[in-house]
Structure 1
Amino acid sequence: MTSADPNPRSRPATDAADNAPEAPETAAAQVTPERPEGPAPLGRPGDRLRIRRSVNYPAFLITGAILGFIVGGLIELFGPSAQLTDAGEAIYTPASTFSYIGVLFAMAGALLGAVVALVLDRRR
C-alpha cells in the first residue's frame, strides 16, 4: 500500500493517539441519577400502599344506554298498539315510535348507569 492511498480506512493506524488505550472515566464525569422533582414519598420502606381503583364511567354509561334502548324497544313492541286517526291511519309509524321510545329509554339508562357508577365509586 502506498502513502497516496485515497481510502483512509484501508491504511493501518500508525498514529500514536489512535493506539492509546482509552482513559477511565473520572469521578466528575460519572453521572449519578438525581431524585425526581416533587414531594418526598410518604411512609417507610416496606409499608403497603393503598391503590385507589376508579370505576370505568364510560362503560357504565354505554351499558346503561344500550340496556335502556333494548328495554324501550321491548316496551314498544309488546306494549299497546298505536292510536288511529278518524281516517284509520296511525298517528306515528311503528318505526318512529320504536326510535322515540328507544332513545328516551337509552338516555334514562345512561343516567341510571352514571348514578350506579357514582355510588360504586363513592363506596370504595
Structure 2
Amino acid sequence: MKKRREPKILSFLLTGAIIGFVVFGLVAILNPELENQWGATYSATTAVGYMSVFGMLLGAICGAVAAAIAAGPGDPSQRRRRKRKGD
C-alpha cells in the first residue's frame, strides 16, 4: 500500500505569515500617505508595525487555506478505519 503524505501545516502557516509580513510591510513603507480618515497621523514605524502584524495574520490564514487544499479530502479507506476504531 502506498502511504499518503500529509502537508506540514506549520510550514504553510509560517510561510504565509512571513510573506504577509514582507508584503504589508513594504506597502506601509512605500505608502506616502500616513494619515487616516480621522486626521490622525502615524509615524512610519507605527504604520509598518501595524501593517506587518495585519499582513502576518492574513498570510497565516491564507497559508491555512492552502494547507487544507493541499491535504485534500483524504483517503476514504482511512476514514472508514478511524470510524471503526471509534465504535
Tell me, yes or no, whether TM beats 0.5: yes
Q: Who is 2:57 aligned against?
A: 107
1:82, distance to aligned residue in structure 2 (A)? 1.5
Q: Rg: which structure is higher?
A: 1
Report how many aligned residue pairs link the two structures. 71
Structure 2 residues without counterparts, runs of 5 or longer = 75-87
Report which of the two has the higher share of helix.
2
Structure 1 residues without counterparts, runs of 5 or longer = 1-48, 85-89
Task: Return the alpha-carbon distance in structure 2 between the equivalents of residues 65 and 73 of structure 1.
Answer: 12
Q: Who is 1:52 aligned against?
A: 4
Amino acid at match of 2:55: F
Structure showing greater relative contact order (alpha-carbon pairs closer than 8 Å, 6 or more residues apart): 2
Alpha-carbon RMSD across the aligned residues, in angstroms, is: 1.8
Task: Return the alpha-carbon distance in structure 1 between the equivalents of residues 60 and 24 of structure 2.
Answer: 13
Task: Return the alpha-carbon distance in structure 2 between the equivalents of residues 108 and 59 of structure 1.
Answer: 15
